[in-house]
Structure 1
Amino acid sequence: MGRVTASLDDLPLRDDLRGLTPYGAPQAPLPIALNVNENTHPVPDAVASDILDDIAVAIRDVNRYPDREFTTLREGFADYLGHGLTAEQIWAGNGSNEVLQHILQAFGGPGRTAFGFAPTYSMYPLIAQGTGARWVAGTRESDYTITPEEAAEQVRAVDPDVILLCSPNNPTGTPLGLDVVQAVYDAARGVVIVDEAYQEFAPRDAASALTLLEGRPRLAVSRTMSKAFAFAGARVGYLAADPAFIDALRLVRLPYHLSALTQAAAIAALRNADVMLAMVDEIIEQRDRISATLEALGYTPHESWSNFVLFGGVRDPKTVWQQLYDQGVLIRDVGIPGHLRVTAGTEAETTAFLDALASIGSAS
């Protein structure tokens, strides 16, 4: 039978998806990849062995469906987060993107609106669009901060069904005060999601939005194991919220959405949280080293509470990106004029980036 070729134009695709391109950061085989905010440190050998042991046990029963409620994993997340949380207040999915998708499926959808303060995580509008919701972008100050008053005013004007607050913000690294979260919640009719994917890289005394959950049933706090836990390839994200909020997500999740192997790996990683998180301090050290060196080179690094640095003062981002690429260093052009973003890697990776950037010349 001959092969039939067609284009998207030949298929009955949804009208609102026509002309779009799929999300995808470059996955080029370069020796120094600092473009997608991964934790570039490998999982420690002892932890990897422990995880493999648990997976070996789980695979013996892989002919059976996994625990649909992933109870042990939810208990592990509750213990890790603290703040008096219980398993009934925890949800998880295949990466925090799936968790956010569950939220948009349950509280967004056709005829509803999702809102966030741009620039912010590029997947928010894509998940909103994919679930049929309309995305509305708010604005930030020139330094990417948001004041409680301005945030509340924008929320009241849009009246969204779902509000996504990235804290610290991606791609800028900007911290978000709890006063902003409170102001947004009080001004909102819909649900408010605080995406704390990078919370472990914030200062130790920085309060989490988890402290605001009590008495706020429309508030949820999302986390991921991809960053601080060096678990990006395992795809595990989770959130904390009121039990009623969790019940809403059960209505839209697919049956048995978390495999037995994923659950086993995540449970073992959480059991070794102290070891897994030991690398966070080194990443923070490299992040701050990047900021200091960028400034010395004449660039403008923005304050970052994450594992990456957004820096301005780049006269021609596309050219600088290509020159770094040609030297085996991959960073990210996030589309903000005059800016590039780099992940804080190991000491050796950070040195390679800084040396390559210095060889290009100082900022204009």
Structure 2
Amino acid sequence: MTAAQTNSSLAEHIRALREHFDSVVLPMWMGRGFNDALGLPFESLDAATGAPVLVTRYRAMACARQLYVFAQAPGAAAGKHADRLFASLRRVFRDDTHGGWRYSVDADARPLDDTQDLYTHAFIVLACAAYFQRSRNADARKLMLSTSLTIEARFKSRDGLYYAALSADFGSPLRPPAQNPMMHLTEAYLAAAQVAEPALYAQHLRSLAQAISQFFVHPATQCISEALQGSAGNRLEPGHQFEWLSLVQSTADVFEGLDLVESLPRAVQWSRLHGVGATGTGVLASLDESGVVMDGTRRIWAQTEYLRTLAVLGDWPALSDALAHFRDRFLHAGGWHECLDENGVVTRADMPSTSPYHLATCLAALPNVV
């Protein structure tokens, strides 16, 4: 029996968060959050009214994140919604001219941005892996494998890193390697290894982890920086240290013996000390490499990653307190607050379609309670 099952306060917070997700968040994105005519999730909803925000684009990454959420959600309705999201992802965002996936389409689902984006490709691998596990649809597994091959053949650089973005024809790098897309590629490959080629994906994962340690770990704090070490104005995001730890510890045997296994606990310790506000004010967005706050915004995704890490570490007292503060500050009857300042004032008034993914991964890490 876990501590959460014997701690009534923690158990109640977990039950309440799951209930909010199941009864408010999921129905929202199957209802007003979904453009039934196009078969795509709206990019964002107004946090006060629940109405779609003015549409200018639809992104493949947002569709893939929603597919991941509904592929893992229980019930026949969620399964059918995942079926539709998968069909739309293939129909709308596949780049049949160059291969790969286009970044976005316009309000009428016509091609808008054909950039080949690593972050997008990583989420498509993740979503297809989750959807295959749910549906056993062979096309999902095929797309997962073909997209992984594209990533390895096109995005990977000679030093073992991956370009963040390439031109539509894959011919020219548009953005250099960055931490965040490679973190989500790690997440995607861990999921892919559950349904195909575990030895091959483990090889990719170990190579990627070593490259992160070599080029992104800040020596003084052991944190993974957002840009390559030595980049001007580099920043450290506490939320990403928490996210990395959860990923690496979820499949410890894959990363056994690597430097990242040793550095991440120290990065998390530093982040808890410098990057989590006192008295429940939440996880800060970013610090510089000396620990000075660069952006004090409290974003919901960083809070969920902190909760996830506390669960992974088994720090039940801290998790209970953090969940209480999270429910009080970030959740409301109609959904959630995306961003708050240090005083708890809402600084972003919409609810993006990408955020339920963070709630889902957080909930998956929390202990099961009845």
- Same structural fold, with TM-score higher than 0.5 when normalized by the shorter chain: no
Larger helix proportion of the pair: 2
Specify the structure having the higher radius of gyration (Cα).
Answer: 1
Give the TM interval when normalised to the shorter protein: under 0.3
Higher relative contact order (CA 8 A, sep 6+): 1
